[in-house]
Amino acid sequence: MTVQIFADDCLLYCEILSINDSINDTKALQDNLDSLQAWERDWLMEFNPSKCEAITFMKKTKPVEMKYKLHDTTRTLAAVSSAKYLEVYIKNKLSWNTHVDATANKATQSLNFIRRNFSCCPAPFQVKCNVTKIEAVQRNAARFTCRDFKRTLSIIAMLQKLQQDSLQQCHTRNRVQMLYRIRNGLVAIPASAHLQRAAVLTRGSKTRYRQIQCRTNTYSHTFFPSAVCLWNTLPVDVCQLPPDSFKAQL
């Protein structure tokens, strides 16, 4: 008998090897359910029977049937053919069909939501709207920190006083820092699979990378094409600095 607990999920299971042993094994499983009830009382917890289910994994035509009870003798746990555990749908026949169908339906719902809300919105406008929303929060926080809510004062001066960068500046700095980590093997992303040294041998060419060719504007704004472009604009001596010094120079 095994009990697995993760966060607020609890799993109790037992292996039944043969039909002859099913009576003893199912009784032992029920006894363990009774023991869990004593455990929950000791820790001031309570299992919700309406959210508990019983499932039997078996490929035989005549599965072992047993009604398991929790908290009282009149209420039995619902017997199901599939159950969700840790975001994975488990089928009693150990098939992935239920999980794949649920994942596909969830992804389709997300896609339909995006289509309904952004299908008529140009891509640059979508990005600009998102940036404006986030930077509006930053501006409100700056006014609150400076205790100055006059609309006639420059918010840019407040941000400079607080030494806060814009969203675009943070985005640029984070991309360059991530490329530095990849280049120096500080993260588990192989540099050789994504980066190629510059073909032209010039001063500082060892720190430069070949610009990735992009056929679409969308791809050009992804991480590696945009990060390589930013990296190649850095001074050679900055590219060769240790991590702490490199971060301070950005």
69, 34 in Cβ contact below 8 A? no
For CA atoms 215, 220, 224, 228, give the dihedral sign.
Answer: positive
Of 59, 58, 57, nearest to 83 by C-alpha is 57
206, 239 in Cβ contact below 8 A? no
Residues 6+ apart with CB under 8 A from 29: 1, 12, 14, 66, 68
Residues 6+ apart with CB under 8 A from 230: 172, 175, 176, 179
Is it the case that residue 22 has pLDDT exceeding 70? Answer: no
For CA atoms 35, 36, 38, 43, give the dihedral sign.
Answer: positive
Count Cα atoms within 13 angstroms, Cβ side, for 225.
11
Residue 127 phi/psi, 5-degree rounding, is -65, -45
**Tens of pLDDT, residues 121-168:** 555 555 666 677 777 777 878 878 877 777 777 777 888 888 778 777
What is the pLDDT averaged over residues 51-62? 77
237, 203 in Cβ contact below 8 A? no
**Tens of pLDDT, residues 96-129:** 888 888 888 887 888 778 777 766 555 555 566 6
User: What spatial distance separates the first Cα and last Cα of the chain, rounded to whole Å?
Assistant: 57
The tokens describing 18, both together, are: 């043969």
E-state strands within the chain: 2-6, 9-13, 53-54, 78-79, 82-85, 88-91
The tokens describing 68, both together, are: 């398991």
Domain definitions of the chain by residue range:
2-80, 121-164, 165-250
pTM above 0.75, yes or no: no
Largest alpha-carbon pair distance within the chain?
85
Decide which of 72 and 80 is more confident: 80
Count of residues making up the chain: 250
